[in-house]
Structure 1
Amino acid sequence: MSEKLDRLVLEARRAADKRAEGYREKALKIYPWVCGRCARSFTHANLRELTVHHRDHNHDNNPPDGSNWELLCVYCHDNEHQRQLEATQGSVTGKQPGKAATHSPFAGLAGLLKKD
C-alpha cells in the first residue's frame, strides 16, 4: 500500500513539474498578475481568467525571458484577437482599416415617405 501511495505522489509531482515548464506558468512567475490592457488585478481565486497573449500571435514563439508574452484578462485577450482578425480580413478584402463607411442606407427615406 505504501509503495502505491509513493508512486502516486511521485507521478503527481512529475505532472506538476511538467505543467510548470509550460509558458503560462512561466509567464505567471515572471509578470505581475495584472491585465496588460485594463490593469485588472488577479488573485489565486480568479487567476483562471488571466491568459497569456503572444504578442506576435505565434504560439510556438516562447522565449524563456517572456519577451513575446503579455498577461491579458480573457476579455482583453478576446478583444486583441478580434482586432487582429479584423485587421487581417481588411487587408485581404482590400478595405483600409480605420476608413469610415460612406454608405447611408436611409438617405432617400424622407423622399419615399413623403406623401404626394
Structure 2
Amino acid sequence: MGRSFKPRGKRGPTPPAVKSQEEADTLVRKLRGEMADGENYREKSLKLHGWICAKCGREFEASTLHLLTVHHKDGNHHNNPPDGSNWENLCIYCHDDEHSRSLLGDYLSGAGKGRG
C-alpha cells in the first residue's frame, strides 16, 4: 500500500483580500513585524532595550549583534506594541533556554504523555 499524496485541504487562514497597493504594503509590513515607519520590531527593541541580554547580562558589539535576538514575552510574534512592552532582548543561548523550559516542564510533569 503506497502513500497518498493527495492534498489535505487548506493549511491555515486565507489571507485577506487586498484592495489597494497601500493595503498590500500595510499587510506586508505587519507580516514582517515592521512598524508603520518601516522599522522592524528587532531594530526598535535594540534601540529601546540596548545591546544587552536581559537574562544573562552579556553585552554585544556590532560584530556580535547577530547573536542577540528579540523574545516575545507572550509568545505572539504579531503582538509588537510600539512601547516594546512585549519584547526582551535575549542572546541566542538564553532565548533557546527560554523556549525549552516549557518543553522540559511538560516532560517532567508527564503532561506530554499520550501525545504522538
State the TM-score, normalized to the length of structure 1.
0.59
1:50 to 68, 91, 94: 68
CA RMSD of aligned residues (A): 2.1
Q: Which 4+ runs in 1 deviate beyond 2 A?
A: 84-94
| Residue 21 of structure 1: aligned partner | 39
CA distance 1:91–1:25, shift in 2 (3 Å): farther
CA distance 1:60–1:88, shift in 2 (3 Å): farther
Pair 1:77 & 2:63 matched = no
* CA deviation vs aligned residue, 1:41-81 (integer Å, no higher than 9, x gap): 00101000000000111111111100000000000000000
Larger radius of gyration: 1
Structure 2 alignment gaps of length 5 or more? 1-33
Structure in which a larger fraction of residues adopt helix: 1
Aligned residues: 77
| Residue 60 of structure 1: aligned partner | 78
> For 1:72-111, what aligned pairs fall within 5 Å after superposition?
72-88=90-106, 90=109, 92-93=111-112
State the TM-score, normalized to the length of structure 2.
0.59
d(CA) in 2 for partners of 1:91, 1:22: 39
1:32 to 50, 58, 83: 50
Aligned-pair identity (%): 53
CA distance 1:56–1:88, shift in 2 (3 Å): farther
Q: What SS is found at the alignment partner of 1:72?
A: strand
